[in-house]
Amino acid sequence: MKKRRFHLWMCFCVSLILMIPAASSYAEEGMWTFDNPPAKQLQEKFNFAVTPQWLDHVRLASVRFNDGGSGSFVCPRGLILTNHHVALGQLQKVSGQGKDYINEGFYARTEAEEMKCPDLELNVLISMENVTPRVMAVVKKGMSDKVALKERKAEIAKIEKESLESTGLRSDVVSLYAGGEYWLYRYKKYTDVRLVFAPEQQIAFFGGDPDNFTYPRYNLDMALFRAYENGTPVASKEYLKWNPAGAGNGELVFVSGNPGSTGRLSTMKQLEVERDIVIPETLKLIRRRLSVLNRYAGGGEEEALQATAQMRSLENSLKAYQGQYNGLLDRALMAKKQKEEHDFRTGVAAKPDLANKYGKAWDEIARAQQKRASRYKELRYRSLRASRIASLAFSIVQYAAEVKKPDGERLDGFHDSQLESLRFRLFSPAPIYPKMEIALLADSLRESLDELGPNDVFVKTALAGRNPADVAAQVIEGTRLKDPAYRKELIEGGSAAVDGSDDPAIVLARSIDPVVREIQKWMEDTVGSVMTSSGEKIGQARFALYGKTEYPDATFTLRLSYGPVKGYAMNGTEAPPKTTFYGLFDRSHGFDGKPPFNLPARYIEGRNKLDLSIPINFICACDIIGGNSGSPVINKNAEIVGLIFDGNIESLVGDYVYNDDNNRAVAVHTGGMIEALRKLYDANALADEIERN
């Protein structure tokens, strides 16, 4: 599944990987911003003239799920389609007390039955404004990278704050083309979001981890939410009309969604550090986390249920990183990258003005990456974010300290424009499982000890001579942070409340805060500032050399991809453009119905009601990446024909390179969704609401 790999413990690392746009586009490549669609390619290759009206309509019907996915309005009363796996975290949060909506599914037959999600925020991109000149203007000649970065950040924070105050809209300044452009994106925010429909996880994620990131697939990975305002369903004028016939083989389709991050044109040195240090450490960390959760889930049914969402997310990450890693270990791919970089640098070197302004950027990045590598383990393992309590405590401690500073001087994540969303997350009433928290925190402490040794300042501070299990038990058992009201009390009480708290989680967070700040600050000063300024130089060199004919790397902002429905060569033969309900039953029977290839009872009993020849999944050559989960697939008429939920195994290397031979996006078919709703879920009313408007 293609949910954004976006864990708290990765936030900072991700923000350090700055991306550089591509030198030349291949067939169907690209995640294009809505201000710069691939109009020429669409016209020449598909005879399709994309209009501003079409773009506005699609953009306003597209929804970003702030916990890491995408979606779209599919009716005029606020109904939003996304993936089951995007909804999974919310499903878990509303489950419990004998209700297991993950395994049993959920269907609200009336609006009154729709179930409010505790901490889901959705965004719709209302406007885009190029603020590059204003951001650039604050950087004066002769400024050091460090000062320039600070000035730039201050200006960005100012722009965001002004916009928030003047429009009331969420306002994010987005750096595109590695700082080649800065855009102010304004979002309409929805925080009253209610669950309408989710099938059983077993059909949404049929085939489980083995089938994850593969094709052919047979997954009904869908969920429906409804956005409310003032207690009433939102009047979503801009919604996508439903086309249950789907798209034919070879037909041009589009994906409108929020790809998380790509490094398509990272410098070679960046890729090498990723390959040799970042990804191996990440894989090790994920495996360790999985093994802790696995042990915990073995404790009983309740424990298994609690651990499910996080394990799923980690397994998903593991397979994704493994795929990326394989890509980086591929010599042919690295040779291709090397050639691209060589050609680009040669082009810059050949023009004295460009060479003078930008020529040193690659070496600057290489030096910064070398430094990053030298302290990467500290960055990674001076952290307790594996535990939600520890993570909340740490955010609260940093919040109290940061909000006192001028906006421009704060750590990323604490700017005024970000505070509302942060508070929404901090005050989430989603349940916390103390036993699981103890297991995770204890192992996280043990991991820091294993990786950094007993003399590391972080380890010494956090353990203070005690053993990890004792610290974890004492912190989790004693903390009041399980109660959202106490978190609110601390935040509202500011520094005084936080500094005076004797809550053991807060005490722990306070003690490690200076140590963590040191490495964060060192990374930002030593690596981040260089990556920003040198990345910007490379971005500008690209504009100077190639013009704005390219798409920027993904930044979890709205993008448009395009490409035909199309099979590909795999396993010595051809993958079909689509799969049907027949295949779902074949794959289940092929494994004698054993998990993860078992089917919900509804499917076994209802088999004869289905037209088995109706497609359930299909593939297209649209260029997507994690974060695109839940994106609508639309045709030329902007009708929805499918729902992105994954990429094939060959697409995993897409973080670094798009290969149109076999990179395919995998989607749920609109026909299959309606067939299941009507024939298996007795949900004709919902199907009617979707189809008949």
List residues binding a copy of itself (CB under 8 A). 207, 210-214, 216, 249, 319, 323, 567, 570-574, 576-580, 582-583, 585-587, 589-592, 597, 612-613, 615, 648-649
Task: Please tell me whether residue 685 adopts helix, strand or coil conformation.
Answer: helix
Give the shortest CB-312-to-a copy of itself separation in angstroms. 16
Q: How far apart are CA 617 and CA 216, in angstroms?
A: 8
Give whichever of 277 and 612 is closer to a copy of itself, judged by the CB atom. 612
Q: Which residues contact 46 (CB under 8 A, 6 or more apart)?
A: 252, 562, 564
Q: Two tokens at 528?
A: 């981040």
**Residue 616 Cβ vs a copy of itself, minimum distance, rounded to whole Å:** 9
Percent of the chain that is helix, strand, coil (3-state, to 5): 50, 15, 30
Q: How far is the CB of 613 from a copy of itself (least distance, A)?
A: 5
Residue 454: is it exposed, middle or buried by C-beta count within 10 angstroms (0-12/13-18/19+)? exposed
> Least CB distance from residue 666 to a copy of itself, whole Å?
12
Asked if 138 and 536 touch (Cβ cutoff 8 Å), the reply is no
The least distance separating a copy of itself from the CB of residue 141, rounded to whole angstroms, comes to 52
Q: What angle do CA 644, 647, 653 make, to 5 degrees?
A: 140
To a copy of itself, the closest distance from the beta carbon of 115 in angstroms equals 33
- State the minimum distance, in angstroms, from the CB of residue 598 to a copy of itself: 13
Residue among 403 and 612 whose Cβ is closer to a copy of itself: 612
In 10 A of CB 592, how many CB atoms? Answer: 8
CA-closest candidate to residue 66, choices 527, 627, 659, 565: 627
Task: Please report which helix (H) or strand (E) contains residue 345, including its range.
Answer: helix 331-350
**Pick 306 or 648: Cβ nearer a copy of itself:** 648
Provide, rounded to whole angstroms, the least separation between the CB of residue 645 and a copy of itself.
Answer: 15
Q: How far apart are CA 138 and CA 134, in angstroms?
A: 7
Residues in the chain: 693
Comparison of 244 and 577: residue with beta carbon closer to a copy of itself:
577
Instruction: Give the shortest CB-584-to-a copy of itself separation in angstroms.
Output: 8
Nearer to a copy of itself, 53 or 573 (CB): 573
CB of 592 to a copy of itself, least distance (A): 6
User: Which residue lies nearer to a copy of itself by CB, 137 or 604?
Assistant: 604
* Closest CB to a copy of itself among residues 567, 632: 567
Of the pair 4, 578, the CB lying nearest a copy of itself is at 578
**The tokens 């409108």 sit on which residue?**
256
Pick the closer one to a copy of itself by CB: 249 or 294.
249
Cis previous bond, 37, omega within 30 = no
CB of 578 to a copy of itself, least distance (A): 5
Which residue lies nearer to a copy of itself by CB, 140 or 594? 594
105 Cβ neighbours under 8 A, 6+ residues apart: 197, 198, 199, 200, 201, 600, 681
Nearest residue (CB) to a copy of itself, 211 versus 456: 211
With CA atoms as reference, report the closest residue to 386 among 8, 6, 96.
8
Report the half-sphere exposure of 428 (CA within 13 A, side-chain side): 21
Give the shortest CB-468-to-a copy of itself separation in angstroms: 36
Could you tell me the smallest distance in angstroms from the CB atom of residue 211 to a copy of itself? 5
Cα–Cα distance between 540 and 135 in angstroms, integer?
14
Which among 663, 667, 658 has a CA at the least distance from the CA of 32? 658
| Identity of the residue, 97 or 573, whose beta carbon is nearer to a copy of itself in the bound complex | 573
Distance of CA 201 to the CA centre of its chain: 20
Nearest one of 9, 4, 686, 61 to 394, comparing CA atoms: 9
CA-to-CA distance for 472 and 493, rounded, in angstroms?
Answer: 26
Q: Which of 279, 358, 321, 262 is nearest to 627 (CA)?
A: 262
Element (H, E) at 317: helix 301-329
Q: Which residues of 468-480 are buried (b: 16+ CB within 10 A; e: fewer)?
A: beebbebbbeebe
- Closest distance between a copy of itself and the C-beta of residue 247, in Å? 12
Name which of 315 and 518 has its Cβ closer to a copy of itself.
315
Shortest Å, Cβ 207 to a copy of itself: 7
The whole-angstrom separation of Cα 642 and Cα 628 is 13
Q: Which is nearer to a copy of itself, 137 or 329 (CB)?
A: 329
249, 577 contact by CB (below 8 A): yes
Residue 236 tokens, joined? 């979503």
Closest distance to a copy of itself from the beta carbon of 595 (Å): 12
3-state secondary structure 398-451: HHHHHCCCCHHHCCCCCCHHHHHHHHHHHCCCCCCCHHHHHHHHHHHHHHHHHH
Q: Which is nearer to a copy of itself, 44 or 611 (CB)?
A: 611
Structural tokens at position 389: 């309590």
Contact 587, 597 (CB under 8 A): yes
Which one, 213 or 551, has the nearer CB to a copy of itself? 213
